[in-house]
Amino acid sequence: MERRYSSYTVEELRAEVAHLKEQLQKAEQWGNVSEYEILQRKMQMAAAYLVNPADFEKGQRYELAGDPGQIFEITYINGVFAWGGHRINLLGQKYETREAVPLSILGDKVRR
């Protein structure tokens, strides 16, 4: 049975992210799209445990890494996930969908 990322040490998490990054590159080279997507999600989850939740603030907006032009507004933080009800595109249009994203995919804070 595999261990949960929450039980890994920081060193183990860094090693896991590096290992997943190597596998991700191989999947990309082979053109295996589904494997690439799965590995990318796993890497985001492992990296989320390396992020300090205290660095993010409720009510603030952050860019979504790897998704240019998309902004995510945090409603609350639970563990390594930021929950929100708003995604905002480049035109300032809000999409009201409640969702959770790993903290690792949140980029820079956006000023209003």
The CATH number of residue 69's host domain is: 2.30.30.340
| pLDDT band, residue 1 (cuts 50/70/90) | low
Instruction: Count how many domains the chain has.
Output: 2
Segment 41-92, tens digit of pLDDT: 999 999 999 999 999 999 999 999 878 788 899 999 999 999 997 787 777 7
CA distances from 22 to 2, 6, 63, 73, 74 (A): 19, 22, 26, 31, 31
Residues 80 and 105 in one domain: yes
Residues 72 and 38 in one domain: no
44 within 8 A of 104, measured Cβ to Cβ: yes
**Residue percentage of the chain with pLDDT more than 90:** 73
Whole domain around residue 20: which residue ranges?
A: 5-48
Residues 13 and 40 in one domain: yes
| pLDDT band, residue 36 (cuts 50/70/90) | very high
